[in-house]
Amino acid sequence: MLTIGCAAFNNIKYTKMFLESIVCSTPYQVLVIDNGSTDDTPILLEEHGVPFIRYNSNRGFAYAYNDAIDYALNSDSDLLLFCGNDIVLRPDSVDYLVKGLLETDYEMFCGNEILNREIIQENANALANFRYKFSFDEQKYTELKYSSGGMNHSCIIRKKSVIDKVGYYDVNFYPAYYEDNDYARRCDLTNVKYGTIESAIFYHFWSRSIHEGGLRELNTRRFSDNEAYYIRKWGGVVGEEKFVLPFGNGTVKIDDRDYEKKLLIGFGVKW
């Protein structure tokens, strides 16, 4: 069984496109974590029968990842694919991601990201004219192609073994950014083998929750704090870490979520 998790905060137009782009030959289930959207996102999910968890306030991207991990574990899923709501998958991409894990000794793969600068600049006409069928000029693949390295958390699939080794995401990185760098660091330290499925193309509108969804101000306030926390945790900036244990003496694996409620209350999250 494959679990496909997705974090959403407003931007219903993107969430709709993402859900419609999911095509998969493997039995799968979907879970959307709605972090307090003020638009019609919950109505859309209810109308389409999409399972979702709804919160009254934004608990952050890392918390949503952790919800998806629990959902996968509780349903005995062997594989977890997690995506932002601002991507569109090429119709063969999920099958390529699953195939990569089943046919190689890798434990985690990300997809092959394509960005569109027009849409990143919030060109409404570019979005209105977007075509799902990937008629733009990207390379076509007729077989599985993958490479080592790469960890794009906008579209990333993992085996349960990764969760066994690394555990949950660190919600101290709030609401977003650096939680992915932290997870990558912990994967490296626990010898998780990961890579990129070149043939799993996905189209990324890039940080729509920040740029259009209403999180720009909150994230601007928190970004430098997240960076400082990462440096304190690992003894250096990304790529120049000095610690092999968090804070020099901690545990790499986060194996429970008990710390989250107290921590997020400190960030002003209402429960």
Per-domain residue ranges for the chain? 2-266
pLDDT one-digit tens code per residue, 10-47: 888 889 889 988 999 999 999 999 988 888 999 999 99
Ranges 52-61, 148-157, 243-252, 260-269: which has the least confidence: 260-269
Residue of 4 and 212 predicted with greater confidence: 4
What letter does residue 109 receive in the DSSP assignment? Answer: E
Tokens, residue 217: 């101000």
Q: For residues 80 and 72, is the Cβ–Cβ distance under 8 A?
A: yes
What residues contact residue 135 under an 8 Å CB cut-off, 6+ apart?
A: none
Residue given tokens 């999409």 in the structure block: 50
Q: For residues 203 and 116, is the Cβ–Cβ distance under 8 A?
A: yes
Q: For residues 51 and 29, is the Cβ–Cβ distance under 8 A?
A: yes
Mean pLDDT, residues 64-90: 94
pLDDT one-digit tens code per residue, 96-146: 999 999 999 999 999 998 876 555 555 555 566 555 445 555 667 899 999
Residue of 206 and 179 predicted with greater confidence: 179
Ranges 77-91, 157-171, 257-271: which has the least confidence: 257-271
Q: What is the pLDDT of residue 126?
A: 55
Strand pairing report for 194-204 and 87-89 = antiparallel
Residue given tokens 């349903």 in the structure block: 75
Residue given tokens 């005995």 in the structure block: 76
Domain 2-266 has CATH 3.55.50.30: no
Q: Is residue 72 pLDDT above 90, yes or no? A: yes
Tokens, residue 146: 């993958």
64: phi then psi, degrees, rounded to nearest 5: -65, -40
> Residue 165 and residue 167: Cα distance in Å, rounded?
6
